[in-house]
Amino acid sequence: MSAVIPVRFKKEELRLIDELVKSGIFRSRSEAIRLLALKSAEEITLLSTDIDVARVVKAILRSIKENRESLQIVSKKTAAEIIREMREDEDIR
Q: Is 3 in a helix, a strand, or coil? A: coil
Q: Is residue 37 part of a domain?
A: yes
Q: Is residue 2 part of a domain?
A: no
Q: Is residue 61 part of a domain?
A: yes
17-38 burial, b if ≥16 CB within 10 A, otherwise e? beebeeeeebeeeeebbeeeee
Q: Is residue 3 part of a domain?
A: no
- Name the domain count of the chain: 1
Exposed, middle or buried by CB within 10 Å (0-12, 13-18, 19+), for 58? exposed
What pLDDT digit, counting tens, does each position of 16-57 carry?
999 999 999 999 999 999 998 888 888 777 766 666 777 777
What percentage of the chain exceeds 70 in pLDDT? 81
Q: Is residue 6 part of a domain?
A: no
Range of the domain at 32: 11-92
Q: Is residue 1 part of a domain?
A: no
